[in-house]
């Protein structure tokens, strides 16, 4: 089976989000996964460990998430598409290796299936790992974070994350959650080539051919510097490049923004409730729209400001206590549009709740 494509053409399937991620990584040509068990991401490893050997793929179960992150870095350094997946407290530990990946421009791919926090909390669902995933580690958040809202997106963006990471050499994340991880949904899985998606070829950063010092220069990769200016020089270049490529990476979705008195902002699976509620309200003649950042890093700030221009008020909806809202406020600085919030940290939000909140705000009452 080695060398055979995991998916020929395309196929309609009905599966859990974790299974989707495993298939997405297979379709993307990932070669090795490193991982440590934590709910709700476990089945990504389960499916990868089962499916992988059929296609010559490898898996290593590590001793913790520190090791899962650092072994992933090792795999990436050799020029292989390597990835890992985690959640919650595992995401906390994962930030140490990922700050190294960020510092050294190592194109790691990490799938985060958010669970409730702080601490161990619940193994079910939340949107409380936004700040951690976007800005974790002792760094500047030079990373790409895709917040998916459906199983189709989990598949699409798993493939895209490998390409983004290897094209731009910034760590790439899929930010899912326990609901997306565990529920079943129908989607189309496909061979990227069948859709005209060209996979960026990885290249080795160590273990290149030839004798170092004779045939080529040795790779001397480091993240420690002796003096401040040295760091500023290296980091300054990275920041400049991140800012330069950000417009190419940024993705968002918006609806009815020019006709909206009330603009609702949400990301991830909560966005689905928002989309459903907003479309229903619009069908009933209400002046509502939505804005959804798909990339939380880099954030579509300019696009949000444009979308918010005609609105009388904004409503930020999230299953966290203001982690998305911080990003929204930062990017709206200087605008005087009032920002209302619907925060449900660690619990799901239904279209009915969004609908009710919108109606109250449109009627001039704060819910």
Partner 1 sequence: MEILPKMPKSWNPASKPHKFCPGCGHGLVLKALGQAIDELGIQDRLVFGCDIGCSLLAWDFFNVDTVQTHHGRTTPVMVGIKRARPELVTVAYMGDGGGYAIGSQHLVNAATRNDIITCILVNNTNYAMTGGQMAPTTIPGQKTETTPYGRDVAEAGYPMLGPEMVATISHEGAYVARGSVAKFRQLKGYLKKALENQMAGRGFSFIEALSTCPTNWRTNAEQTWAFVEETMPKYFPLGELKFPGGKEE
Q: Which residues contact 46 (CB under 8 A, 6 or more apart)?
A: 18
Closest approach, Cβ 281 to partner 1, in A, equals: 50
342: its two tokens = 């619907």
Whether the Cβ atoms of residue 162 and residue 28 lie closer than 8 Å to each other: yes
- The answer to whether 208 contacts partner 1 (rule: CB under 8 A) is yes
- Closer residue to partner 1 (CB): 214 or 336: 214
Which 8-state DSSP code applies to residue 106?
A: -
- Closer residue to partner 1 (CB): 32 or 315: 32
- Closer residue to partner 1 (CB): 225 or 252: 225
Query: What whole-number distance in Å separates Cα of residue 72 and Cα of residue 82?
Result: 6
H/E run at residue 146:
strand 144-147
- The answer to whether 218 contacts partner 1 (rule: CB under 8 A) is yes
Residues 94-123 that bind partner 1 (CB under 8 A): 96-97, 100
Residues 13-32 that bind partner 1 (CB under 8 A): 31-32
Name which of 299, 357, 358 is nearest 332 in CA terms. 299
Alpha-carbon distances, residue 168 vs 140, 172, 241, 251 (angstroms): 16, 10, 9, 15
- Closer residue to partner 1 (CB): 221 or 347: 221
Binding mask 43-82 for partner 1 (x = CB under 8 A): ---------------x-x-xxx-xx--xxxxxx-xxxx-x
Query: What whole-number distance in Å separates Cα of residue 115 and Cα of residue 240?
Result: 33
33: its two tokens = 């996964």
- The answer to whether 207 contacts partner 1 (rule: CB under 8 A) is yes
Closest approach, Cβ 64 to partner 1, in A, equals: 6
# chain residues binding partner 1, by CB under 8 A: 42
Q: Which parts of this chain interact with partner 1 (CB under 8 A)?
A: 31-32, 34, 58, 60, 62-64, 66-67, 70-75, 77-80, 82, 96-97, 100, 204, 206-215, 218-224
């Amino acid at each position: 089976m080695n060398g055979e494509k995991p998916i020929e053409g395309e196929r309609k399937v009905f599966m859990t989000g974790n299974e989707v991620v495993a298939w997405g990584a297979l379709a993307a040509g990932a070669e090795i996964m490193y991982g440590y068990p934590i709910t709700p991401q476990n089945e990504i490893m389960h499916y990868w460990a089962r499916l992988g050997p059929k296609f010559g793929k490898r898996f290593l179960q590590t001793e913790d998430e520190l090791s899962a992150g650092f072994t992933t870095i090792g795999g990436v350094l050799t020029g292989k598409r390597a990835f890992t997946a985690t959640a919650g407290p595992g995401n906390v530990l994962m930030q140490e290796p990922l700050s190294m990946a960020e510092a050294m421009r190592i194109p790691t791919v990490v799938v985060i299936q958010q669970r409730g926090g702080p601490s161990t909390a619940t193994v079910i669902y939340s949107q409380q790992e936004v700040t951690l995933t976007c800005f974790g580690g002792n760094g500047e958040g030079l990373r790409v974070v895709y917040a998916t809202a459906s199983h189709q997106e989990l598949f699409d963006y798993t493939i895209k994350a490998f390409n983004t990471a290897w094209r731009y050499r910034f760590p790439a994340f899929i930010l899912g959650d326990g609901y997306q991880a565990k529920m079943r949904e129908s989607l189309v899985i496909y061979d990227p080539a069948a859709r005209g998606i060209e996979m960026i070829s990885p290249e080795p950063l160590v273990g290149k051919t030839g004798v170092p010092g004779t045939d080529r220069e040795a790779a001397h990769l480091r993240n420690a510097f002796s003096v401040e200016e040295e760091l500023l020089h290296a980091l300054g270049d990275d920041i400049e490049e991140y800012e330069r490529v950000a417009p190419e990476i940024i993705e968002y979705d918006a609806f009815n923004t020019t006709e909206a008195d009330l603009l609702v902002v949400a990301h991830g699976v909560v966005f689905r409730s928002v989309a459903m509620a907003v479309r229903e309200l619009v069908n009933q003649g209400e002046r509502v729209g939505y804005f959804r950042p798909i990339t939380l890093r880099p954030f579509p700030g300019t696009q949000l400001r444009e979308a918010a221009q005609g609105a009388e008020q904004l409503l930020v909806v999230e299953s966290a206590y203001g982690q998305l809202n911080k990003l929204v406020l930062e990017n709206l600085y200087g605008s005087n549009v009032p920002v209302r919030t619907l925060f449900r940290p660690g619990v799901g939000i239904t279209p009915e709740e969004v609908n009710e909140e919108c109606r109250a705000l449109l009627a001039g009452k704060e819910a």
